[in-house]
Chains A and B, each alone.
Chain A
Amino acid sequence: MVTDINIAGAPKKQLSINPKRFILWLFMVSIVMVFASLTSGFIVRQSEGNWLNYELPSQLLISTIILVLSSVSVQWAVSAAKKKELSKTRFGLSITLLLGTIFLISQVWVWSILVQEQVYFVGNPGGSFLYVLMGVHAFHLISGLIYLLIMLVRTFKEDKASKLQFQLGMSATYWHFLDGLWIYLYVFLIIYH
């Protein structure tokens, strides 16, 4: 029925972006909602009083700097892939993976400092919330690391950097997002802890 219609005009092509990239953005929206709810829960609970006050470990700043640096290195890898320099892409990704892992270790280090300061996961929600925020972020960061690791493996399989560009761009977007998310959490904790 459709094919035999004599099409007299050309209906406009509808505005669209790559669905896969769009799906990634929507996925990030859902992650934003998880953290929006946790941080607003944090504020609501804090306003009710009986809240554990403590000093935010200064080591969190080190974590933050490491993660920001990893964002720079992943972006460097992306631009190297655009210039079709496969070995530089590989190097950039490896640096990012390394920095991401150091960030995770640094977060665990922060936890050990918190325990020394007698801020425990089990106890007053003031402390528990900190662990949950950092833990849920770390969980997502691990998923980002896995994504980057897959990209790194693919740099050895593909002979042309151009084939990687799209997925590499997506993984970098996700990584920047996780970085931005952490900066949000860091600023939030500085203001509200």
Chain B
Amino acid sequence: MSTAHIELTDVMHDDHGHHDQSFISKYIFSTDHKTIAKQFLISGIFWALIGGILSLIFRLQLGFPNMDMSWLQPFLGHWINVDPTSGVGKLDTEFYLALVTMHGTIMVFFVLTAGLSGTFSNFLIPLQIGARDMASGFMNMLSYWFFFASSVIMFSSMFISTGPAAGGWVIYPPLSALPQAISGSGLGMTLWLASMALFIVSTLLGGINYIATVINLRTDGMSFSKLPLTIWAFFLTAVIGLLSFPVLLSAALLLILDRSFGTSFYLSEIYIGGEALPNLGGSPILYQHLFWFLGHPEVYIVLLPSLGITSEIISTNSRKPIFGYRAMIGSMMGIAVLSFVVWAHHMFVSGLNPFVGSIFVLLTLIIAVPSAIKAFNYITTLWKGNIVFTPAMLFSIGLVSFFIAGGITGIFLGNAALDIQLHDTYFVVAHFHLVMGSAAFFGMVAGVYHWFPKMFGRMMDRKLGYIHFWVSFIGIYSVFFPMHYIGIAGFPRRYYSFTNFDAFSSFTDLNAFISIAAGVTFLAQLLFVFNFFYSMFKGKRATANPWKSNTLEWTTPINPGHGNWPGPIPKVYRWPYDYSKPPTEEYWEKMTEEEKENWPDFIPQTVPYSETPESNLPHEQELAEKEKKEDKGIEIE
């Protein structure tokens, strides 16, 4: 157990860098996929807290527009404008935009892309496919440290005098290209672009590694049709990332050239401050095309890993095989393909040709099919299951709820005609915060609760987990459900204040309610952070397979070392969802009451069919015969 302690304390110190050499090579610049996963996770938690705090600040402004914010001056400095006569402090209007921008950037990229894929793809891919480590441990390490450098740049951009990027997380030019337009488009935007360029490199290094590992390093017997759905999800996510992030790199490159080298890819005929700019012939729409070609797949990069995690957790804790394993894979593939052909539905009001728009409407609505298949399969897996309500299970079920609630409004927004009314309102904010923000976040949290024992050899506290779930679940609906109404009423997003519009005065109380709910939800997350770090040291010690799960990671020692398995890598004989597999009818009749009582409700992937003649189906019995013959060296084809 002493080894457990060493690993735990070391992970804690990942973000500091003043230890002796051996420690650094082992835990700071580690090439072990488990350590890298923990580095991503802890960085992700850090970013999630920053992103959450930023949203609280702008929620204060939106919920309580007349509030005196001078008490925030010690933290925000000159971003709070204090009126010298009345002493009333107001949030700087441009800083409000910066807050919104940074909240989006941090949550989408740093938390739900790096924090989610980085943590779980790294941690689970080698463990669940039966590999010693990633295809290239060195590239994996580089991936984290590119992310770290990118994080440092993005974080430092929040402390410069002109403020961080403020053009929205989509950084549309010309606003983002012209420092004269808004102070955030100066140094802040330069840092944003530099940070994102490093981030893209990090994502590509990671993604290439995930794909190469899943394809080439599966253990004997682990065919694609026996892969856990988590791995399928991580694999497809990495494929989407590999194809879409380079496009963002191109878009950013052209933007950098426009900003710093005087080209006119996105700029044309602009008058600013009474002066005409020399740029001619550019097209800001070109940027939107390039950006959303990444931007839309990015939604699925954020969501798919969570959906995969949910499949695994729901099946394990329902003690039932996942319903429609192949349909799940098929729908994930469908989502992956469709994600590349719907980008223009973000651009319905950009002057897009209505005929082209109608094609994108059609393709967008088709996404409802695989999404619905997934939602149905989750529910049918739960149906009549012997459900174990662990915190991870609750969060997974919460994900399904958000996925459905947020997905339905996607059908509204996918229609060009409706989108003209709803575009850029709080309806959109409500939609994507539920379906991609909260759902993906719940999947991530569920994953942490579920695999915490494998990561740190200890259990997270259950009761705190339950409180965390219920406050978050009710809190998130309280925040985002009312936003639908506000959005339908025409409330535009990214506005600093609505006090000047009489039409919106009836929503004042609702906005205050949303802000309070957001605050409460945030407090619940602090509970999670406390639980996370407390359980790392003081949590109950984990058993080898605390959730009675079938997948390979639970066959490793409680604290797996380098190489994951001390002995040979286990071989795989069956799919990962043999939960509650009943005995055959003839065997059932022979069983004693005691045997029936103790009938195991799960069969790990490493158990051969020849060892389970009592539960084998006829075709599996044939497989068992085959296994036996092969063992004797008889060739079968």
Contacts and interface: CB of A to CB of B under 8 A. Distances in A.
Contact of B573 (A11, A34, A124, A132): A11
A2 B127 CA distance: 14
Interface in B605-621: 606-608, 610-611
Given A1-B544, A19-B135, A41-B289, A31 B573 contact: no
Given A41-B289, A50-B281, A8 B250 contact: no
Contacts of B573: 9, 11
B136 A23 contact: yes
A191 interface: no
A128 interface: yes
B337 interface: no
Contacts of A12: 220-221, 223
Interface of B: 135-136, 139, 204, 208-209, 211-213, 215-223, 242-247, 249-251, 253-254, 257, 261-265, 268, 280-283, 285-286, 289-290, 293, 544, 555, 565, 567-568, 570-573, 606-608, 610-611, 624, 626-628, 630-631
A133 to B, nearest CB: 11
Contact of A38 (B221, B245, B250, B571): B250
B600 to A, nearest CB: 14
Interface string A9-42: 1111110111110110011011101101110010
Contacts of B263: 121-123, 125, 128
Interface size class of A (residues with CB under 8 A): 35 or more
A116 interface: no
A136 interface: yes
Contacts of B219: 14
A23 B223 CA distance: 20
Contact of B247 (A5, A7, A33, A125): A33
Please classify the interface of chain B as helix (H, G, I), strand (E, B), loop, or mixed, using the class held by over half of its residues.
helix
Contact of B607 (A5, A18, A123): A5
B380 to A, nearest CB: 30
Nearest to B280: A124
B231 to A, nearest CB: 13
B572 A26 contact: no
Contacts of A27: 204, 208
B136 A19 contact: yes
Contact of B139 (A23, A48, A122, A126): A23
B213 A19 contact: yes
B257 A132 contact: yes
Contact of B243 (A6, A23, A33): A33
A5 B571 CA distance: 10
Given A14-B220, A19-B216, 17 more contacts: A8-B627, A9-B627, A9-B630, A11-B221, A11-B222, A14-B219, A14-B222, A16-B217, A26-B208, A30-B242, A36-B247, A37-B290, A37-B293, A38-B250, A45-B286, A125-B282, A126-B281
The 10 closest A-B pairs by CB, nearest first: A9-B627, A11-B221, A19-B135, A33-B246, A8-B610, A16-B216, A37-B247, A2-B570, A3-B567, A37-B250
B264 A124 contact: yes
Contacts, number: 160
A187 interface: no
B264 A10 contact: no
Contacts of B136: 19-20, 23
A27 B463 CA distance: 46
A132 B266 CA distance: 14
A44 B287 CA distance: 11
A33 B242 CA distance: 8
B215 A16 contact: yes
B262 A14 contact: no
Nearest to A123: B264
A122 B250 contact: no
Nearest to A38: B250
A22 B265 contact: no
Interface string A117-148: 00001111110110010001000000000000
A50 B242 CA distance: 33
A9 B254 contact: no
A20 B138 CA distance: 12
30 contacts: A2-B568, A3-B567, A8-B608, A9-B573, A9-B608, A9-B624, A9-B631, A10-B220, A10-B571, A11-B222, A11-B573, A12-B223, A14-B219, A14-B220, A20-B136, A22-B211, A29-B242, A30-B208, A33-B246, A34-B250, A37-B251, A37-B290, A41-B254, A48-B283, A50-B280, A121-B261, A123-B281, A124-B280, A124-B281, A128-B265
Interface centre among B215, B268, B281 (most CB of A within 10 A): B281
A26 B587 CA distance: 50
Contacts of B261: 121-122
Contacts of B262: 122
B264 A125 contact: yes
Contacts of B626: 9
B83 to A, nearest CB: 45
A48 B350 CA distance: 14
Nearest to B250: A37
A37 B246 contact: yes
Contacts of A44: 283, 286, 289
B360 to A, nearest CB: 15
Interface string A79-122: 00000000000000000000000000000000000000000011
A129 B286 CA distance: 13
A7 B293 CA distance: 48
A11 B254 CA distance: 51
A162 B512 CA distance: 72
Contacts of B211: 22, 26
Nearest to B568: A3
B87 to A, nearest CB: 50
A52 B216 CA distance: 48
Contacts of A6: 611
Contacts of A19: 135-136, 212-213, 216-217
A45 B261 CA distance: 19
A11 B213 CA distance: 19
Contacts of B245: 30
Contacts of A36: 247
A79 B624 CA distance: 48
Contacts of A125: 263-265, 281-283
Nearest to A27: B208
A38 B289 CA distance: 11
Contacts of B567: 2-3
A10 B572 CA distance: 9
A1 B135 contact: no
Given A9-B631, A33-B247, A23 B289 contact: no
A9 B216 CA distance: 22
Contact of A128 (B257, B555, B606): B257
Contacts of A45: 265, 283, 286
Contact of B135 (A3, A23, A122, A126): A23
A20 B242 CA distance: 17
Contact of A2 (B204, B212, B565): B565
A86 to B, nearest CB: 28
B568 to A, nearest CB: 7
A34 B250 CA distance: 6
A14 B218 contact: yes
B571 A11 contact: yes
B278 to A, nearest CB: 9
Nearest to B220: A11
Contacts of A1: 544, 555
Contacts of B265: 45, 125, 128-129
